[in-house]
Amino acid sequence: MNSMTPLRIFAWLGLFATVACGQAQPAKAPSPKTITFSAKDGLEITGDLYVAASKTAPFILLCHQAGSSRGEYRKIAPRLVKAGYNCLAIDQRSGKGGNRVASNVENETARRAKKAGLKQDYLSARQDLEAGLDWASSHGFTGKKVLWGSSYSSSLTLLVAPDRKDLAAALAFSPGEYFRGHPGIVTKAVKRLTIPVMIVSPMNERESSTPLYEACASENKVYLTGPGILHGSRTLVWPKDPEKTWKDVMNFLSLYAPVKSKPSAHGKK
């Protein structure tokens, strides 16, 4: 896979994986349960929890882009839940919300951080991602864990993943070296990243994302770019036809964090 050119790829996965998403649209969106938990420094983090049929199903931590909130996943998480994944979309301390990207959902964590006088730069939000993963483990979610980031949080995803033994895979939508004063920090991190990783990037961001893909040490890495792909996770919502990207993402998940098939009426899979 390391020799693949950075174009829209994933045709090869069709030989190995069958995914239920196809062209189907999600059913009525399940209502998330709003939860709170604490980061290492004591800041209260707000999240939207979407639970599938069982806590043994794979768990995806969904992280938003700059200026956004957990609402970025209000149209994405329900589709993942329908496919059998547990999801937690969090408010990071670096964000705002109340806009189209965030489905007009305000970022409660960022509001608390500002009130408390805590740092709200991108790197400071790393502990928010780590706290979300720790929360899942401490609350009985035993399925394979996936870390999913959007824009700056996709770069945080690539920073966090090499140091987590509980992750099965990572998805990074529009990563780059976004951390001022820390040149090359993400590139250095991905050289230690060995779990399966999928990098999704618009064509006009290949200059920043391709070096990260090439530096990544994982033997199971995928780089997805091409016409119609937008910045961040919104590429699964905003384009006129996001289905090709959805299919590629679900194929990746089905390979590295598969949902077990449900027993039939006769008790057989």
**pLDDT tens, residue order, the chain (269 aa):** 443 434 444 333 333 333 333 333 444 656 899 999 999 999 999 999 999 989 999 999 999 999 999 999 999 999 999 999 999 999 999 999 999 999 999 999 999 999 999 999 999 999 999 999 999 999 999 999 999 999 999 999 999 999 999 999 999 999 999 999 999 999 999 999 999 999 999 999 999 999 999 999 999 999 999 999 999 999 999 999 999 999 999 999 999 999 986 543 333 33
Predicted confidence at residue 261, as pLDDT, reads 67
pTM > 0.85: yes or no: yes
Q: Which two tokens stand for residue 207?
A: 């200059």
Predicted confidence at residue 29, as pLDDT, reads 58
Task: Give the burial class of 59: count Cβ atoms within 10 A of its Cβ; 0-12 exposed, 13-18 middle, 19 or more buried.
Answer: buried
Task: Give the burial class of 51: count Cβ atoms within 10 A of its Cβ; 0-12 exposed, 13-18 middle, 19 or more buried.
Answer: middle
Residues 148 and 136: beta-carbon distance below 8 Å: no
Predicted confidence at residue 53, as pLDDT, reads 84
The third-level CATH classification (topology) of the domain covering 30-256 is Rossmann fold (3.40.50)
Which contacts of 78-82 are long-range, i.e. CB under 8 A and separated by 24 or more positions?
A: 78/26, 78/27, 78/29, 78/30, 78/50, 79/21, 79/26, 79/246, 80/50, 81/30, 81/50, 81/51, 81/52, 82/26, 82/27
Residue with tokens 């194929």: 251
Q: Which two tokens stand for residue 111?
A: 């509001």
Predicted confidence at residue 37, as pLDDT, reads 98
